[in-house]
Amino acid sequence: MARFGGLLATDLRDVTSDPAALDSTGWWAVVADFEGRLVCARFGDVRPDPAPAVAPGRWRGPAPDAWTSSLDRAAYTAGVRRIREHIAAGEVYQANLCRVMSAPLPDPGAADVDALTALLAHGNPAPYAGTVRLPAHGVEVATASPELYLRRTGRTVTSGPIKGTGRTAEDLLEKDHAENVMIVDLVRNDLGRVCATGSVTVPELCAIEAHPGLVHLVSTVRGELPADPRGGGAGWTELLAATFPPGSVTGAPKASALRIIEALETAPRGPYCGGIGWVDADRGTGELAVGIRTFWIDRQATGGPALRFGTGAGITWGSDPEREWAETELKAARLLAIASGTHQPLGGTPR
């Protein structure tokens, strides 16, 4: 099953890794791992259905003290310093450094990511929240993403990169605005590779957007795809090839940032920082979020099935290693508390 935007999709008909299917027929759920694995699932029954109600005991999460990180504080701050060295050498302007949190599931057989989605919907509502549950295909994802990767309406394509995070708007620094502008340029370039010449615009730059427990700087980048793919234009295959992985979770230049990320990070990101959402091929519409604020179940984990969650920060020359570590903690705290059942909705812990 899959759940996005008030729709519930059931009756699985087809699963493929071919992005061309998204320009065929039907309603598809999409999960693209950061490392490139793509799962597209077509469902036969798609109907309005609100987020599932929170049922006591339906989700049994990890113990609050069971979470471990792929990079501890010392390793993460050392990574920030190493990225600053790359910046000083002129190899990159910005790189996103991430770590993956993991915890064993106390009752793997009963773990249902849609029940976790229900908790997230009440404790951390997000515009691109959703579930994709395809256990036979190794996909069990619950996302509370606030970030738009790609929205497609006919030939119009929109992206909403987030860069810059603070507890309040007063916490945002000049570094945060510079970081956002760098990524907007990258996203403009990515969309320009596939959109019609001269059609890429930036309707909104560095808008402040409030989310539970924090604020983000968010920009909007928009372009127009050329004519129908059958006439030599661009479809989802070309769009994903031009823009994936999302620029806000890689860095600029993207190729250099990806090389640095591979050298510094010690765990695959999986659906975290990938693309998660839906495509309605019949209507020529779709909405993929950047897979941040995202949980996934890894049933092949060493030591038994585990729940995973990613958190990270964009590193620039103006980055302070301890502040960047604190940003990753801020982004994770509220979500991990929800998954572990310790979040207090009223006056509780900031995320």
Residue 211, amino acid: H
Within 136-213, strands assigned E span 139-145, 148-153, 156-160, 162-166, 201-211
Specify whether the CB–CB gap between 291 and 272 falls below 8 A: yes
Quick one: pLDDT at residue 347? 39
Whether residue 336 lies inside any domain: the answer is yes
User: Which range of residues forms the domain containing residue 170?
Assistant: 2-340
Whether residue 235 lies inside any domain: the answer is yes
Whether residue 199 lies inside any domain: the answer is yes
The predicted model gives 107-119 an average pLDDT of 94
Residue 169, amino acid: A
- DSSP for 96-147, written as a single string: EEEEEEEEE-SSGGG--HHHHHHHHHHHS--TEEEEEEEGGGTEEEEEEE--
In tens, the pLDDT along 85-97 reads 999 999 999 999 9
Q: At residue 104, does pLDDT exceed 70?
A: yes
Q: Is 167 exposed, middle or buried (0-12, 13-18, 19+ CB in 10 A)?
A: middle
Whether residue 107 lies inside any domain: the answer is yes
Whether residue 348 lies inside any domain: the answer is no
Residue 252, amino acid: A
In tens, the pLDDT along 206-223 reads 999 999 889 999 999 999
Given the residues 91, 140, 147, 322, select the one marked as catalytic.
147
Mean pLDDT of all residues in the chain?
93
Q: At residue 52, does pLDDT exceed 80?
A: no
Is 147 an active-site residue? yes
Given the residues 35, 85, 163, 327, select the one marked as catalytic.
163
CATH number of 194's domain:
3.60.120.10
Which residue, chain included where needed, has tokens 């427990």?
213
Q: Is 221 exposed, middle or buried (0-12, 13-18, 19+ CB in 10 A)?
A: buried
Whether residue 207 lies inside any domain: the answer is yes
Whether residue 332 lies inside any domain: the answer is yes
pLDDT class of 350 with cuts at 50, 70, 90: very low
Count up the domains in the chain and report the number: 1
Whether residue 350 lies inside any domain: the answer is no
- CA dihedral sign, ordered 136, 138, 140, 143: negative
Query: Using CA atoms, how far apart are residues 177 and 306, in angstroms rounded to an integer?
Result: 36
Is 163 an active-site residue? yes
